[in-house]
Amino acid sequence: MPGLLLGDEAPDFEADTTQGRIRFHDFLGDSWGILFSHPRDFTPVCTTELGRAAQLAPEFSKRNVKMIALSIDSVQDHLSWCKDVNAYNGEQPAEKLPFPIIADKNRELAVKLGMLDPDELDKDGMPLTARVVFIFGPDKKLKLSILYPATTGRNFDEILRVLDSLQLTAYKKVATPVDWKPGDSVMVVPTLPDEEAKKLFPKGVFTKELPSGKKYLRYTPQPE
């Protein structure tokens, strides 16, 4: 099945959305972007996910991230579904969310991007869209891909966390260790010589001693 691999450029597709017709590269502009797909409108898990995404939209905006969703129903269905999502969040049932939803009624984009879940079928026996998360950098290239089955809802706080890691490590010569959160210490990348690391990280580089004697666990406070 066709799909995107890390480092691939996002296809510059055109699509109808709840906020009008878009061309994807123009929509992204110079921003980071997150595209997240849904199996179908008016489904329980998807509704909770869109509700959480809407609540976190200001956090994504602060990080210069354009959000866009995809579901295999029509624009009119999407607009009606938005009312339910807003009501779920305790808001007025308006036909609008802080981000557009792509209408992919014929599954053309889902097939192109490798988003279909072969184990989850609709009443006609057609595969539903899986819960995919694609994060694109300002260069329009895929930086992260997470694939969930239709039965498992996503954790949008985790998506924000990995986005913070992607943005930090894109511009600094560091990596983020297990369970890292913004503000925690980070790791100096192995390819950076010690002398250069000392210059780049004036707050200090701290090496953990290991039985092997290899000095590869090098930490530094998160750089600004």
- Positions annotated as catalytic residues are 46
CA 159 vs CA 22, 49, 146, 207, 222: distances in Å: 24, 12, 9, 29, 19
List for the chain the helix, strand, coil content (%; round to 5): 30, 25, 45
Under 8 Å between Cβ of 195 and 209: no
Sign of the CA dihedral 170, 175, 179, 182?
Answer: negative
State the Cα angle at 74 between 71 and 76, rounded to 5°.
Answer: 120
Strand pairing partners for 129? 116
What Rg value do the Cα atoms of the chain yield, rounded?
A: 20
Terminal CA-CA length for the chain: 41
Q: Smallest Cα–Cα separation from 131: which of 211, 69, 78, 61?
A: 69
Under 8 Å between Cβ of 10 and 28: yes
Give φ, ψ of 11 to 5 degrees.
-65, 140
